[in-house]
Amino acid sequence: MRLVRLGFALIAILAGCSAAAAQQTPNLSEIATALAEERAQIAALRAELDRRDARLAELTARLSTATNVIEPAAPEAKPAPPPVVLSQPTAVPRFQFYADSRVRYETLHQEYEGCDGCPDRKRGRLRLRFGAEGHVTPDFTAVIGLGLGEISDPNTVYANLGNNFSRKVASWDRGYVEYHPSKVKWMRLMAGKFPYTWQRSSMTFDVDFYPEGLNQRFSFDLGSSAVKSVGAQAFELIVNEQPGDRHMTIVGGQLTAAISAIPKVVTRIAVTGLDIDNPEFMLRALLDGTDTGVRNTNAVLGTGPAAQLLSGYRYANVIVDNAVATPWPKLPIIFGFEYQKNLEAANDRDKGLSFRVDAGRAQRRGDWDGGWHVFRVEQDAILAGLGESDWRAPSNVLQHRFALNRMMNENVQLGFTLYRGRTLDPTLRGALTAPNFVPGIREPWMNRAYFDITYRYWRAMDSVGSPGIVDHEAPRAVCLTTQNIPVAAGQCHRLAI
């Protein structure tokens, strides 16, 4: 019985296992199917990934090819940034300063056999200048400046030493506003009392003058290998203001061109015309002593305060300068000539000629520069009151100028200048001659020598642009930021040497 029960139990267990196996078989099939589907999806994803890898490799190859094509042009594009840096308004300080000091030992000597009273003078002189240049707005520049000098002598920027230790008088020697729109770089407009902006020599204007009035300047850089640049300008100056609008005025214009027809040689040509209206007011100032800068040497009618100029004054002037680049950077050479004619002269003494040779530079320590200038100016070729005060005479004169300078460093220069001149025709009325000189023989030479030491408080820079002249520069502004001013001593458009 016991065995029978055990047999039925075994049969029941086997029947249960068969039923369970029958129930689990479908579930395993579903799992296999799902597994197969997942494997298919994985294969599809791998195929898509391979496709995208291939696409990425293709794009990378194309980008590399494009980069290789652009890279050779990159070195040519690199020079482009510098103009952008130069034109940044933040590069120019709102205010800049200029200043210089010069101490001079001067000798004046003239003699001939039997001369009684010939000049033989030695004196010390001093020049001090200080000013500021403002760049508050991008299109305007304003400049003000102080300098030593005699109030009654517009032809000098020096004060004599030895007047009982007196204080030296300083006055405003310049003050102007310049308009130079950033969008019209070829135009510059000025108004006030400013340095010379046109090309000229000391034959026609004393180097120490600061013209007063208006100036319009237009210049174009052509970039041509033959014609470098051209320019035109006009100026309207007031010399002596009078009631009733009968002022003494100067109205003129100039055309310029820079040409390089020969390698390493640049020729600059300037053609100027100007008209002087009511010049007798300057004659009055010379005769009554209110202007002590020079003495009148022009032909006049009458005597004393009632004297009148014989000629009118309308200039035609041509200057040709040639700058030659030599194999030695420290030794450029400039030579040129000038022709001046007074178109309204009442006589045939109406012409002036000049020639000059200059060599060297004055930029760095150890530099030398020097030159020789010679002028031959007839009596009525120029208006005497505007002439050079360092000469033997402003007109009716043969004048030499010799100069030699050495830069001790970028701020200090030693200089020697010799003016050697004589009157052309001592027989003319108004001619300047040595004391007790007997007309009929050639006047003896007058020699004026300058020994200078000049200290510029920083290296000079142009602020209105150097006009290029045929003699030593008139005072020019230079540029200085406030951080450049030494604490113990506490330097654009302009210092002169």
Task: Name the pLDDT band for 58 (thresholds 50, 70, 90).
Answer: confident
**Dihedrals phi, psi of 91, to nearest 5 degrees:** -75, -20
**Interatomic CA distance for residues 481 and 134, integer angstroms:** 11
Average pLDDT over residues 229-233: 96
pLDDT at 455: 96
Residue 74 pLDDT > 70 = no
Cβ-in-10-Å burial (0-12, 13-18, 19+) of 292 comes to: middle
Q: What is the pLDDT of residues 117-139, one digit of tens each?
A: 888 999 999 999 999 999 888 89
Average pLDDT over residues 45-65: 80
Cβ-in-10-Å burial (0-12, 13-18, 19+) of 337 comes to: middle
Q: What is the pLDDT of residues 440-468, one digit of tens each?
A: 789 999 999 999 999 998 644 334 444 44
Q: What is the sign, positive or negative, of the torsion defined by CA atoms of 452, 457, 459, 464? A: negative
Q: How many residues does the chain have?
A: 497
Going from the C-alpha of 129 to that of each of 193, 195, 207, 495, the distances in angstroms are 15, 14, 15, 9
**Interatomic CA distance for residues 196 and 378, integer angstroms:** 24
Residue 307 pLDDT > 60 = yes
Structure tokens given for 458: 């920083």
Low-confidence winner among 19-28, 167-176, 219-228, 250-259 (lowest mean pLDDT): 19-28
More confident: 272 or 481: 272
CB atoms within 10 A of CB 135: 18
Q: Which residues contact 315 (CB under 8 A, 6 or more apart)?
A: 204, 252, 272, 273, 274, 275, 276, 340, 341, 342, 343, 382
Cβ-in-10-Å burial (0-12, 13-18, 19+) of 305 comes to: exposed
Residue 458 has what DSSP assignment?
S
Closest CA to 454 of 491, 418, 496, 486: 496
**Interatomic CA distance for residues 126 and 161, integer angstroms:** 7
pLDDT at 7: 54
Rg (C-alpha) for the chain, rounded Å, is: 42
Closest CA to 481 of 31, 16, 26, 135: 135
CA 431 from chain centre, in angstroms, equals 39
Cβ-in-10-Å burial (0-12, 13-18, 19+) of 329 comes to: exposed
Mean pLDDT of the chain: 84
